[in-house]
Amino acid sequence: MTKTTGREQPHGPRSPRPGSVKQGSRKPWPLAVAALILLVLAVPGALLVAPGFLGPDAPGPTPAPPAWQQAPATLPAPQVLAPLQPSAQVPAQPAVTAQVDPVLKTDGGGTFTGMVQDALTGQVLFDRGGAEGRVPASNLKLLTAVAALRTLGPDHRFTTKVVQGPAAGQVVLVGGGDVLLAAGESQPEQVMGHAGLATLAALTVEALQAAGTTGDVKVLVDDSLFTGPALNPAWQSGDVEAGEIAPLYPLALNSARFDPAVTTGPRPQDAAMAAAEEFAGRLRAAGAGVGLTVAAGVERSPGAAQANTAVLAGVESATVAEQVNLMLQVSDNYLAETLGRMAGAATGRPGSNDGATAVVKAELAAAGIPSDAVTLVDVCGLAMGNQVSARQFAEVVRAITTGADTRLRAALDGFPVGGLSGTLGTRYGDATTSGGAGLVRAKTGTLNTVLALSGYVVDADGRLLVFSFIGNGLAPGAAGNKEALDRAAAALAGCGCR
């Protein structure tokens, strides 16, 4: 007997069990129902899965941005002040005095003098002791600017050069008046650092190679262009120690600062030697790959370089106009004293403090500004012995803005702008002075008991006015004194004084 299992047997047809239905006779409706159910379920699933195969829908059209975000069809006209019109009405003197006099008050002692003039005619519109000699502080730099532009010219540049030394294997770094040298490469787009010692060193190596020079090279420095005391005895020792000024030399890095970004604190006491040592290091690096070595240590040249000495290389400073503007913007004492000495040397005077004060006073007179009563003991304004009147400063600003000598126009960019630039960048921010923000352009002056502000402004009627306000004997640190100066200048800006 064959044993069977639970599996179907392939041999022979099986008889239907009682009650069963033959396959060929089943009813089709259960299959149709199942198919319909599957179809109903499949359609939503397909809709969910399809994007994975077909990708996202094509984006619809992007709506146009609002009008204020769209590029303009035409460029608007520049928003600038209208050209000055000589026909604009000159303010009335009583009305100007009524605006300025009440706000020009000292805070805690001392006195203010002042002068306001119409720039085109010179008509006096306000006068409070305007002819009185005063300690002007850094307003004195306006006089130095006039002397530098008249004697040197706005486009003049100072050259720092390297020449053959007095003995074989020596090169001499010769200072030519550029105290804004950079340690690295020249930066033609900058005023500070326009000429760089790394560039000068590379050019020197090229010249030495061309001459067949090899072996050891000794660097000397020639700073003989400036004479007399390097430090003015009229400067207070506290100002020197605080870094307001340093000994003067005809070449320096960063206006005799260790770091161009740090404009306070100690300074090199021998800027020429500091620059020469930096140059020697750059020359050593540039010559290392071509067989040149540089001896340790730098010495001063035993004498001035002769005019016919072979020049190996040179780099040029920013223009005098650019340096004047930097001097006025940031009130750089070292740069002012240098420009004064260079102006003196350009007119055959010694490159000393005496030469600088003499040329500034002489050029003031040559510009048509009476200078008999002017007393100068320096040309940066740091000394307390200087004496200049508010009227003389107003006349200097007139000469710069509207005078016959157009070389002086180069100084206009140097005037700090109220609330925007330079030493006026943080002023004109309160309710009593904000009317002068962006309109007042003036040189500041600050010493312990001295404040000054001299510049120009276009009044509400379009008339150009020049002014000078000087405070002496002021309470040190009294905040109201600067505010008084700023309020007076702002009053002129808003003046439709008839």
In the numeric block, the tokens 């700023």 are attached to 486
Q: Tens of pLDDT along 336-370?
A: 999 999 999 999 999 999 999 999 999 999 999 98
Structure-token pair, residue 265: 């604190």
In a domain, 85, yes or no: no
pTM of the model: 0.83
Between 41-45, 63-67, 210-214, 228-232, the lowest mean confidence (pLDDT) is in 41-45
In a domain, 263, yes or no: yes
Query: Which domain covers residue 387, as residue numbers?
Result: 93-153+324-493
In a domain, 14, yes or no: no
Q: Which residues pair with 452 in a beta bridge?
A: 445, 470
Better-predicted residue by pLDDT, 66 or 399: 399
* Residue 497 pLDDT grade (very low, low, confident, very high; cuts 50, 70, 90): confident
Q: How far apart are CA 46 and CA 30, in angstroms?
A: 24
In the numeric block, the tokens 């008999």 are attached to 372
- pLDDT computed for residue 214 by the predictor: 85
In this structure, are 199 and 346 located in the same domain?
A: no
Between 53-62, 145-154, 161-170, 213-222, the lowest mean confidence (pLDDT) is in 53-62
Q: How far apart are CA 169 and CA 208, in angstroms?
A: 10
Of the candidates 497, 449, 452, which has an alpha carbon nearest to the alpha carbon of residue 474? 449
In a domain, 435, yes or no: yes
Long-range pairs for 302-306: beta carbons < 8 A, 24 or more residues apart: 302/166, 303/166, 303/224, 304/222, 304/224, 305/163, 305/172, 305/174, 305/222
Better-predicted residue by pLDDT, 247 or 289: 247
Mapping DSSP onto H, E and C, the string for 384-430 reads CCCEEEHHHHHHHHHHHHHCCCHHHHHHHHHCCECCCCHHHCCCCCC
Q: How far apart are CA 99 and CA 76, in angstroms?
A: 36
In this structure, are 233 and 210 located in the same domain?
A: yes
- pLDDT computed for residue 305 by the predictor: 78
138 is catalytic: yes
In a domain, 55, yes or no: no
Q: How far apart are CA 266 and CA 273, in angstroms?
A: 16
- Residue that terminates a domain, selected from 262, 296, 318: 318
In this structure, are 427 and 390 located in the same domain?
A: yes
Better-predicted residue by pLDDT, 276 or 63: 276
- pLDDT computed for residue 30 by the predictor: 52
* H-helix segments, 55-153: 93-100, 141-151
In this structure, are 414 and 380 located in the same domain?
A: yes
Which residue of the set 186, 255, 301, 331 is catalytic? 331
Mapping DSSP onto H, E and C, the string for 334-376 reads HHHHHHHHHHHHHCCCCCCHHHHHHHHHHHHHHCCCCCCCCEC
Between 25-34, 199-208, 340-349, the lowest mean confidence (pLDDT) is in 25-34
- Report residue 382: phi and psi, to 5°: -75, -25
* Residue 215 pLDDT grade (very low, low, confident, very high; cuts 50, 70, 90): confident
In this structure, are 186 and 295 located in the same domain?
A: yes
In a domain, 238, yes or no: yes
Q: Yes or no: say if 286 and 279 are a contact pair by the CB < 8 Å rule.
A: no
Of the candidates 410, 481, 408, 424, which has an alpha carbon nearest to the alpha carbon of residue 457? 424
In a domain, 16, yes or no: no
In this structure, are 331 and 227 located in the same domain?
A: no
Arithmetic mean of pLDDT, 130-153: 98
Mean pLDDT of the chain: 88
- pLDDT computed for residue 213 by the predictor: 87
- Residue that terminates a domain, selected from 298, 318, 338: 318
- Residue that terminates a domain, selected from 318, 335, 354: 318
Q: Yes or no: say if 116 and 136 are a contact pair by the CB < 8 Å rule.
A: no
In this structure, are 107 and 186 located in the same domain?
A: no
In this structure, are 255 and 364 located in the same domain?
A: no
Helix (H) or strand (E) run with residue 219 in it: strand 215-222
Q: Give percent of the chain above pLDDT 70.
A: 83
Which residue of the set 141, 218, 361, 443 is catalytic? 141
Of the candidates 363, 342, 484, 350, which has an alpha carbon nearest to the alpha carbon of residue 427? 484
C-beta atoms surrounding 91 within 10 Å: 25
* Residue 307 pLDDT grade (very low, low, confident, very high; cuts 50, 70, 90): confident
In this structure, are 251 and 355 located in the same domain?
A: no
In this structure, are 485 and 449 located in the same domain?
A: yes
Q: What is the CATH number of the domain that holds 342?
A: 3.40.710.10
Arithmetic mean of pLDDT, 310-322: 97
In this structure, are 349 and 481 located in the same domain?
A: yes
Structure-token pair, residue 223: 């700073």
105 is catalytic: no
Domain count, the chain: 2
In this structure, are 130 and 239 located in the same domain?
A: no
- pLDDT computed for residue 58 by the predictor: 53
In a domain, 489, yes or no: yes
